[in-house]
Structure formats: C-alpha cells, structure tokens
Amino acid sequence: MLAEIITIGDEILIGQIVDTNSAWMAQQLNSAGIRVKQISSVSDDREHILQALAEAKKRADIILITGGLGPTKDDITKKTLATYFNVGMIENQEALANVTRIFAKYKRPLLEVNKQQALVPGNCEVINNHNGTAPGMWFNEAGKVYVSMPGVPFEMMYMMEEQVLPKLKNTFKLPFIMHKTILTVGEGESFLAERIADIEDNLPPHIKLAYLPKLGQVRLRLSGYGEQETSLANEVNYYAGLIVDRVSNVVAAEDDIPLEKAVLDKLIAQGKTLSVAESCTGGYLSHLFTQHAGSSQAFLGGAVSYANELKESILGVKNETLWQYGAVSEEMVTEMVQGALSNFKSDYAVAITGIAGPSGGTDEKPVGTVWIAVAGPDNISVKKYTFGNKRKQNIERTAITAMGLLNTLL
Amino acid sequence: MLAEIITIGDEILIGQIVDTNSAWMAQQLNSAGIRVKQISSVSDDREHILQALAEAKKRADIILITGGLGPTKDDITKKTLATYFNVGMIENQEALANVTRIFAKYKRPLLEVNKQQALVPGNCEVINNHNGTAPGMWFNEAGKVYVSMPGVPFEMMYMMEEQVLPKLKNTFKLPFIMHKTILTVGEGESFLAERIADIEDNLPPHIKLAYLPKLGQVRLRLSGYGEQETSLANEVNYYAGLIVDRVSNVVAAEDDIPLEKAVLDKLIAQGKTLSVAESCTGGYLSHLFTQHAGSSQAFLGGAVSYANELKESILGVKNETLWQYGAVSEEMVTEMVQGALSNFKSDYAVAITGIAGPSGGTDEKPVGTVWIAVAGPDNISVKKYTFGNKRKQNIERTAITAMGLLNTLL
C-alpha cells in the first residue's frame, strides 16, 4: 500500500520552517505498513496544488495533505479540493458546532470568516478537529483515499493518531513492515559493505538493506515487508543477527538510537560513571550526553578546559608537560584523562585535546590534529587523529570518535 | 527564477530523518533571489527519480538534487541521471584524484567500489567535493540547470556555498536582494511588532519586514528587492537604523549572527574573558561559544558540574549550601558564579543550575525551574526562571536566556 504526503504552504518553500510534520507522518505510516512513495511541499497556488494531487494519484492509493486550512486568504486548500473533485461547498453542522464551541470557550466573537471554516467540499466526510477550528476532511474517490489535515503540528498529530490511522487500517488491508537498525561506529560505508556483501546478496527480495552514514557512524537498516508479523520479525532478526556477528567489533547498538545514548545505556547497565575533560570539543561531548534524560545516572560532568590555565587548575596537568610537549600532545591528553579520573572520581573518563581550526595549526600539528584518551578502571587507550580543516566537523567527528573508543573499551 | 529541490533516498520517506537540507537550501536560494516552487522527497527508485526530474523540469529552471551518491548499491542517482540525459558514464580524473587523495589521507586502501565514485554521466561538469568522496555534478541542458549534490548535510552545504550558489549567480541574471537582520533577545514577537508598528507601516513596497522568532530571540529581517545595489543598501540600512534606535534595549546584534557570536564579539572587543559553570545545561552553553572560530580569545572554559560532588570540587561551593538550600537555589548559583570567577580567573562568568526534566522535579521546584547568575568585575545579576517540562527546550531556553542576561551586562 502506497501513500504520498503533500504539504501546502510557503513557509517550507522559503526555508522559514523545517518540515517536521512529514517525517512524523511518514514514521506513523511506515509503522502501520504503509510505504510513503513521495513527500512534496507545494506553494499556496491553486494550479500547483491541482497538479500535485493529479501526480500523487497516479502513484499512490492514499494521499495525505496538510496545511492551507486556516481562515486567512492565502489558505486555499479546501476550495482547490472542491475544484479537484468537481463538487460544490456545503456547510457542515458538526464542523460549525466545533468552531462555535471553541470561540465560546475563549469568549471571542464568532466572525463570518470563522464560520466559513465549517464550509467543506460536498463529497467529504468531516474529521472533527478536537484541538482547533479547521476540520479535517476524508475523501474516498475512485478507490483512492485523500485526507486533508491542518498544518499545525499538534492538531495534525492528534487527528492522525486518534482518527486517520485507525480509519486507514479499517479501510485497507495492510501488509506488515518491520525495520531493524544496527548502529556501527568507526568503519566506513564501503568497508562495511564489503564485509557483509554476501549477506546482502543473499537477502530475500522482501528484505532490503540500507546504509545510512553520518560522521564516523553508519546505520545499517534492514526493512522487511510481509503479511505475517511473527515470521517476518524472525526473518529480519535472523539477518540482523548475521550482520551483527560479522561486524561485531564496530557495533554500538542494535537499535535506532544515537551513539551517545548507546554508550550511556552501557554505562548505566554496568553501574559505572563517566567524566570528561574536553579541550577542542568545548563542551560538545558533555552536551551530547546530557541532552538525554537520565544521563545523570552515569555522567558526572567534567571540565571544558579551553584555556591552558584551566587544564592545570581543574585537571591538575603539569605545567612542564604543557611547555615541554604542548597542549596538543600524547603526554597532555594522558594527564588530562588521569586528572579527570582522579579529580572527578569517575569509573571511566574521556579526554580530548586538539586543534579544531580554522587557525592555530602548525606544520608539525596542522589544524585537525586531535589526541583522544579514554580510560577505565584498569585500561587506557590513547590515539592521535588527523581530521580535516573544518571546525564544526572536527568538533563533531572528534566527539563521535571519542565515543567510539569508549564504546570499544566498554 | 524558479527552482525545485529533489531529495533522493528512503531515510526521509520512512521518517528516520527530518529533511533539514531542503529548508537550508530553500533559505539560501531565496536569499539569492531564486524562488523555490516545490520540494520533493522521492525513493531510491529509478523510474520514480526519472518521473520526478521530468515533472520538475516542467515547472522550474533550476533543479537541485541531493542524495543517492554514496558508493553502495542503493545509491542510484548518477546512473539514473545518465539515463535521463541519455548519455553514458565516464571516469572523471578530478573526481578520481579527490577520492584517491581522501583515501590516502586516512591511509585506507582504495577499493573498486570507491573508484566508481569517479564515474559520472558524460554530459556533466564535475563539482569537486572538498569534504567527501562523492563528486557533485552540474548539468546545463536545454536552458535548464540540474545540480546533483551529496545528501550528507555538511558536504552539501559547503558545495552550495562555495561553488553552486556563485555559479548560479553567474549563470542567471538574478534580481538584487538585500537582507539586513537585527537580532533581538528577551522580548516577544507581538510586543516588538507593537513598538515598531509605525516604522513597518511606512516601509516602501519593495522592502519587507519579517519576524523570525526562535526560543527567546526574535530576528527582524528587512528584505529589499531592486535593481540598483547602492541605493537599495542605503534604503534598507536607513529603515534598519530606525528599528535599532527604537528597540535598542533588546538588540544583541545588527547582523544575522547567532546570539552567542554577538556576545563573544562584544567580549573580544572589550578585551574581556568569560568562564562558565553549567549544571542543567550540561555543556551546551560552552558548546555554543566554542563552535565559533576565535572563541578562545574570550572563552576560557569552565565546569560541567552535573554531579553535586563536582560543584564542590571544581567550583568550591560549600557543602552546607548544598544541603541547606539544595543544588537548585539562589545561594547555589551565586556560589557557582563566584567560584567560576575566582577559580577560572575570568572577567565575566555565567552559572546555571536547574531541573531540565523530565524527572527530578518537586512541588516546590518543578521541572523547568532554573537559576541563572551572570557576574562581571563589579556587578552580579541572579534570576530565577520557570520554563516548561520539555528537556531539550529547557536546555536551549536556559542557554539563550543566560546569554541574554550576559548581553545586557556587557
């Protein structure tokens, strides 16, 4: 079963907002066994909307439309749908009662323009909007279902969850879709592909493998399509197991979670704590951990020792080490990680020092030179990396790499 | 001039990632005077991509394509473009040299599958990818420009900024557009609008004002459209000056820069230094500062004192304060900011302690309770805030608010 999502309105096309609605809808549809064939953002323009509807109809059975339902003049979705279906507009009593109720609740006068929100194309079934004034609309024409919903995220989300998805499940016989994601860190897409080439080649046609790379990490996602939930799950898990066994040295999680969450989960499961000493990543690694609820169970905190003085005062690195080897050196990062372990009293520690750039590099230590140390109760690993010359990427890549090293140590 | 954006790949269609690339591209294109007619996300499917290209060509002059350029089997953009243009594939020497250079740099063997990244459709002009192995491709066919770029955000962004946008500006005669942004912090959109209503009403029709609100900040963006650069610039600057004078108490920058950059610039201009003591923001504030090149001129670093023990050991807060008033209290944040000033020896310091959530709240101190202190050589300001119950928003809002306070102090 195929669906398409059409988003109407200029906010997305001028880049003022990011289209988070479509991603959320796509997730919901996929979980319900409905594949999304295309997502289109089109302008508040009658001809353009008509064209988008006609194109979507050729490819999909279900067409979900958001946006363009407000009371202002530039919101033209309803009239365009009436034109598309070649029907007139009628006043819907349920929708009128809803608008009246909301205006009474907020003690606002009901203007003519608000009453018009109850006007809908004659061939639609109204989907009551419990969280706003614009009604949703369900059309069933020539075997295709069209649903028009408001663009306000929470209004759309409640309407989808409470009414549209259950109604779609009743209307269509849906296949079962199962995704399984394996998070790897520290090996490139093409090397992974080579290591698991035979497994990939032998996948049955209804199971697909996708490589989703992102700064030092690659997500391997298996997607299975079938009729029978249990057997499909078993099959997808079987192939996931083959892949995990093959590349186990770089697997961080067998789930679709961020790397730092995988590391935190391991620490929490082992009842261990972590502290950090960050120089060139400047708090980014700490931020990655602490954005997750519950991180305080394992993450104690640490130092952002940007200035050399702070490396000495907070981490207790020796002044001689600084002037003898420099701030970006194996000796320095080793003292930093030891300083974090002893001063912050954590089981594990990560220390990072490097030159994020764009300036500050030398011939011997160019921009992108980074030393990372990870240490546990009885082991320490210190490595040097040479990344590129882009500051933001150096910061991100360093944090990801440090977490990869920590993941291996755990 | 009209453009369309086509995003290729299943990640967006299954809702695994949100399409931030398209929003960013749309912004850039709009700033360059190019309107975006449609944004489409399509699957890794040959027929579907061909159809999307054919449809886009009917509506737009510029077609920007991202994604589907990796070395693995599911990445089929290049071959499909060759089919679309009815040309063969050729090996591009520049692209091959780039792949070879990158693999040599990371000391990795160059596999056959990697070499294939240098294969491109015969009619394209290669856009060198300085940040990755997949080359960009520029096609100029029958008066329409097609550009294919990698889907990895930073590779695409650098390619757009450094090469694609300048090339588009050279290829097409674009109108002159001038944007001038004023960054304000600490006052809501509707209040700002009321204060500058008369200025807005008197803007000439070719100058538009947009309000771009984002977590405690509002950007006021004046956009002027014209033929003559100097007179347009003078005119836009004149109206910007009127607005800045009117709301000067909340202006952080007269430029489209992030708030933390505005604060850093002020510190650097005054030759002053800053340190931080972060609890509930967990390194996020430090990260905001240190992501900017040159931040080390003013930012010394600080403590991420997530655990209470670290508040004592790094910042020197008193144990009595902790048990008498609690970690989230006026007394605590005051000792934290004083500890940062004296231990880290900076001119200014920011301290933050609060309950980011979702758990950890009490009746007296619910989730979202945050204390912020900012201190300078001879002044200190301590404030309590009650934000919402969403962890990520609380972290962001706290950081923004702290910078707003610091901005006022400076």
Domain end call among B229, B253, B277:
B253
Binary contact (A22, B20; C-beta < 8 A)? no
More confident residue, A275 or A214: A275
- Pick the closest to residue A326 from A347, A306, A354, A300 (CA basis): A354
A·B CB contacts under 8 A: 279
Higher pLDDT, B240 or A313: B240
Strands, E assignment, A86-245: 89-91, 119-121, 125-127, 136-141, 144-149, 176-185, 207-214, 217-226
Rounded CA gap, B135 and A19, in Å?
27
Close Cβ partners of B378 (under 8 Å, ≥ 6 residues apart): none
> In angstroms, rounded to a whole number, what is the distance separating the alpha carbons of residues A234 and B266?
60
Which among A214, A283, A388 is the nearest to B290, CB-wise?
A: A283
Does A306 touch chain B if contact means CB atoms closer than 8 Å? Answer: yes
Residues 20-49 (A) with a CB less than 8 A from some CB of B: 20, 22-30, 35-43, 48
Residues of chain B with pLDDT > 70, as a percent, come to 100
Q: Which helix (H) or strand (E) holds B97?
A: helix B93-105
Q: How far is CA A155 from CA A63, A66, A150, A165, A402, in A?
A: 18, 10, 7, 14, 41
Q: Which residues of A touch B114 (CB under 8 A)?
A: 190
Q: Kindly identify which residue of chain A lies nearest to residue B24, measuring between CA atoms.
A: A15
DSSP string, B302-341: EEEE-SHHHHHHHH---HHHHHHH-SSSHHHHHHHHHHHH
Residue in A closest to B72 by C-alpha: A190
Which residues does chain B have within 8 Å of residue A55's beta carbon, measured at their own beta carbons? 55
How many domains are there within chain A? 3
Q: Report the CATH number that the domain containing residue B69 is assigned in CATH.
A: 3.40.980.10
Contacts with B291 from chain A: Cβ below 8 Å: 282, 284, 391-392, 395
Residue A375's domain is classified under what CATH number?
A: 3.90.950.20
CA distances from B61 to A310, B24, B38, B311, B337 (A): 55, 19, 12, 59, 56
Assess whether pLDDT exceeds 70 at residue B358: yes
Are the beta carbons of A290 and B284 separated by less than 8 Å? Answer: yes
- At A72 the pLDDT is 65
Residues B33 and B143 in one domain: yes
Judging contacts by C-beta atoms under 8 Å, the chain B residues touching residue A299 are 282, 306
Q: Which domain holds residue A312?
A: 259-409
Pairing of strands B2-8, B62-66: parallel
pLDDT range class, residue A30, cuts 50, 70, 90: confident
User: What is residue A178's predicted lDDT score, i.e. its pLDDT?
Assistant: 87
- The reply to whether A55 and A140 lie within a common domain is yes
| Contact across the interface for A15 and B35, Cβ inside 8 Å | no
When the pLDDT of each residue in chain B is averaged and rounded to a whole number, the result is 92
Contact B306 A290 (CB under 8 A): yes
Identify whether residues B241 and B275 lie together within a single domain. Answer: no
Confidence of residue B144 (pLDDT cuts 50, 70, 90): very high
Least confident of A8-17, A75-84, B394-403: A8-17
C-alpha distance from B290 to closest chain A C-alpha (Å) = 5
Instruction: Render pLDDT for A324-356 as a digit per residue (tens, 0 to 9).
Output: 999 999 999 999 999 999 999 999 999 999 999
Interface test with A, best of B6, B287, B389 (most A CBs within 10 A): B287
On the question of pLDDT at A122 being above 90, the answer is yes
**Rounded mean pLDDT of A250-273?**
95
Domain end residue (candidates: A171, A187, A202): A171
From chain B, pick out residues whose CB is under 8 angstroms from the CB of A182: none
Burial class (CB in 10 A: 0-12, 13-18, 19+), A29: buried
Distance CA A312, CA A321 (A): 10
Do A156 and A205 have their domain in common?
A: no
pLDDT of B72 over the 80 cut? no
**Residues B243 and B99 grouped into a single domain:** no
The Cα of B213 is separated from the nearest Cα of chain A by a number of Å equal to 10
* Nearby residues of B351 by Cβ (< 8 Å), 6 or more positions away: B276, B277, B278, B333, B334, B336, B337, B339, B340, B372, B373, B374, B375
What distance in Å separates residue B380's CA from the closest CA in chain A? 23
Contact between B282 and A295 using a beta-carbon 8 Å cutoff: yes
Q: Encoding tokens for residue B324?
A: 């008498």
DSSP B250: G
Q: What is the pLDDT of residues B8-17, one digit of tens each?
A: 988 899 888 8
What is the mean predicted confidence (pLDDT) over B348-366?
A: 94
Average the pLDDT over B73-87 and give the result.
Answer: 89
Say whether both B279 and B299 belong to one domain.
yes
Give the three-class secondary structure for A303.
strand
Cβ contact, residue pair B154, A19, below 8 Å: no
Whether residue B126 has pLDDT greater than 90: yes
> What is each CA distance from A205 to A209, A225, B45, B249, in whole angstroms?
10, 9, 15, 64
Partner A, chain B 126-155, Cβ-Cβ below 8 Å: 131, 152, 154
Helices (H) and strands (E) in chain A, counts: 17, 17
pLDDT at B242 over 80: yes
Q: Which of B253, B276, B294 is the last residue of a domain?
A: B253
Cα→Cα distances A278→A287, A325, A328, A337, B337, Å:
11, 18, 12, 10, 20
* Non-local CB neighbours of A373 within 8 Å, separated by 6+ positions: A333, A334, A336, A337, A350, A351, A352, A380, A381, A382, A383
pLDDT of B214: 78
pLDDT average, residue stretch A189-204: 94
Rounded Cα distance between A133 and A151, Å, is 12
Q: Mean pLDDT over residues B27-49, rounded?
A: 92
According to the model, what pLDDT value does residue A153 have? 87
Interface test with B, best of A8, A13, A220, A221 (most B CBs within 10 A): A13
Residue B241 confidence (pLDDT): 97
Strand partners, B137: B126, B148
Find the range with the poorest average confidence among A94-108, A296-310, B89-103.
A94-108
What is the sign, positive or negative, of the torsion defined by CA atoms of A90, A95, A100, A102? negative
Query: What pLDDT, on a 0 to 100 scale, did the predictor assign at position B370?
Result: 97
Same domain? A400 vs A297: yes
Please name the member of A18, A191, A287 whose beta carbon is closest to the beta carbon of B18. Answer: A18
Per-residue pLDDT at A293 exceeds 70:
yes
Judged by CB atoms closer than 8 Å, whether chains meet at B36 and A24 is answered as no
Answer yes or no: do B143 and B208 share one domain: no
For the stretch A354-395, pLDDT in tens is 999 899 899 999 999 999 999 999 899 999 999 988 899 999
The Cβ of residue B197 has, within 10 Å, a number of other Cβ atoms equal to 10
Q: Which pLDDT tens digit goes with each residue over B272-322? A: 999 999 999 999 999 999 999 999 999 999 999 999 999 998 999 999 999
**Which residues neighbour A294 within 8 Å (Cβ) at sequence distance 6 or greater?**
A264, A268, B359
Please say whether the beta carbons of B312 and B319 come within 8 A: yes
Q: Test B19 with A24 for CB contact under 8 angstroms.
A: no
User: Is A39 in Cβ contact with B40 (below 8 Å)?
Assistant: yes
Residue B375 and residue A344 in contact, taking contact as beta carbons nearer than 8 Å? no
The C-alpha atoms of residue B66 and residue B80 are separated, in whole angstroms, by 13
CA-based R_g, chain A, Å: 28
Partner A contacted by B2 (CB < 8 A): no
Asked whether residue B180 falls in the same domain as residue B167, the answer is: no
The answer to whether residues B167 and B180 belong to one domain is: no
- pLDDT, residue B191, reads 84
- Pairwise CB contact (< 8 Å): A15 & B37: no
pLDDT, averaged across chain A: 92
Using CA atoms, how far residue A320 sits from A204, A224, A313, B281, B338, in Å, is 62, 59, 14, 34, 29
Given CB atoms, is B398 within the 8 Å cutoff of chain A? no
CB atoms closer than 10 angstroms to residue B97:
12
- Chain A neighbours among B 180-239 (CB < 8 Å)? 210, 212
Do residues B135 and B201 both lie within one domain? no
Confidence of residue A94 (pLDDT cuts 50, 70, 90): very high
pLDDT-derived band of residue A147, with 50, 70 and 90 as boundaries?
A: very high
Q: How far apart are CA B57 and CA A351, in angstroms?
A: 52
Which of A286, A367, A387 to probe the B interface (max B CBs under 10 A)?
A286
CB–CB contact A188 B108 (8 Å):
yes
Q: Would you say residue A212 has pLDDT above 70?
A: yes
- Given a cut of 90, whether residue A213 has pLDDT beyond it is no
CA distance B127 to A51: 33
Tell me the per-residue pLDDT of A54-89, one tens digit each, with 9 for 90 and over: 999 999 999 999 998 877 656 789 999 999 999 999
Look at residue A74 in the predicted model and tell me its pLDDT.
61
- Cis amide leading into B153 (omega within 30): no
H helices of B271-409, in order, are: 284-290, 308-315, 319-325, 330-344, 391-409
- Those residues with Cβ within 8 angstroms of residue B48's Cβ, 6 or more apart along the chain or in another chain: A37, A38, A59, B42
* CATH classification at residue A229: 3.30.70.2860
Omega within 30 of 0 (cis) for the link into B71: no
Q: Could you read off the pLDDT of B154-174 as tens digits, one per residue?
A: 899 999 999 999 999 999 988
**What's this model's pTM, rounded to 2 decimal places?**
0.78
- Is the same domain home to B239 and B285? no
